[in-house]
Structures are given as C-alpha cells and as structure tokens.
Amino acid sequence: MKKDSPEIIASNRKARHNYTIVDVIEAGIVLHGSEVKSLREGQVQIAEAYAHVIRGEMWLEGVHVAVYRFSHGVGSHEPMRSRKLLLHREQIRKLQERMAKERLTLVPLSMLLKNGRVKVELALAKGRQKEDRRQAIAEKESKLEMRREAGRQRKGTSPSLGKQSGSRSRSNED
C-alpha cells in the first residue's frame, strides 16, 4: 500500500536560520541501492550540503549518507560522494542564471520519500549576516508574543485584564 503524503527523511534546520529562502524546488537524486537503504533508516546528514552546476548538470555536495550496515564491500558506497540531481535542462539554466544574477545559492531543505522515490527539496537562498539572523530571531519572537497575547485576550486571561492578575492584586492590598 503506497502512501500519498511524502515521508521526510532528513531536514536542514540550519538552512532556514542561516539563509533567507527566496524560492523552493523539488529535484530527484541519483543514488546507489545501499544509499537508498541507509536513507530509509534515516542515516543521512544534510546540514553542510549545497548544490551547484557543473557542465550543465546539477550536483549535490556535502551530503553524508552512512554506509548501509549490511552491505559488505561490493554493494557499499562512499559516504561523502557527489550526487547528481535530476532536473530538466531548462530548469537548471534558469536556476544558474538566477544564482549568478542575484548572488544566490542552492541549499537542501529536506530529503523525502515520495511514491517510493527519494526527492530533495532545494531552496534558492541568500546568505544572512549575523545581524540579519539576530533581527530575524527578534522578529519571530515578537510575532510569537503577539500571537500569545491575542490568544490570552480571546480567552480573557490577559495579565492586564485577566482573572489571574486580579487575584494577585487583591492579595497585595491586604
């Protein structure tokens, strides 16, 4: 029985922190059988990975796929090898032009199993400076606090209006 929804094998949480995501695309990837088996077990690291174009082909570098524990010699693979990404020629050309023009990079956001095939979700992204990262964290925290406050006001338990703060103020008056 096939699943309709994709199963996420690995995700790159650092990418969303270190980069501003401009666009997201999905690509297939060329793998050996032992690599697929390792991926199904979740034995992959994509935190330091990136993609680039060489002679009109898209390649994924810096992905560590652990050697499958039951493959001995013949069926095993090199853990840090370059892996070819499967995209249409026109897609690669457009991505390459955009990367050069806007000074962007391609980083993998996640690897997933979709209908029995391994796919890589790539992000066309712009690197953030340290100040930009701090600013993004501050914005995220302020939005979260605003959402929390709105929820409190809907429930009627706001520190300024709620029941909890009222009971505290009476105890202070005594």
Mean pLDDT confidence for 81-89? 93
Give the other-Cβ count within 10 Å of 145's Cβ: 10
**Can you give the pLDDT at residue 16?**
84
Q: What is the pLDDT of residues 124-160, one digit of tens each?
A: 988 877 777 788 888 888 888 888 888 888 887 655 5
Q: Please compute, for residue 54, the number of CA atoms within 13 A of its CA located in the half-sphere on the CB side.
A: 9
What rounded mean pLDDT belongs to the chain?
A: 83
pLDDT bucket at 166, cuts 50 / 70 / 90:
very low
**Regarding predicted confidence, which is higher, 52 or 5?**
52
Sign of the CA dihedral with 130 first, then 135, 140, and 142 last: positive
DSSP letters for 55-73:
TTEEEEES-EEPPPTT--S
Backbone angles phi, psi at 130, to 5 degrees: -60, -40
pLDDT over 80 at 161, yes or no: no
pLDDT over 70 at 58, yes or no: yes
Complete domains list, the chain, with CATH = 7-128 (2.40.280.10)
Share of the chain above pLDDT 70, in %: 86
**Can you give the pLDDT at residue 159?**
59
Reference 105, options 132, 86, 124, 130; nearest CA is 124
pLDDT bucket at 4, cuts 50 / 70 / 90:
low
**Regarding predicted confidence, which is higher, 17 or 11?**
11
* CA 124/CA 107 separation, integer angstroms: 7
* CA 16/CA 33 separation, integer angstroms: 30
Burial class (CB in 10 A: 0-12, 13-18, 19+), 72: exposed
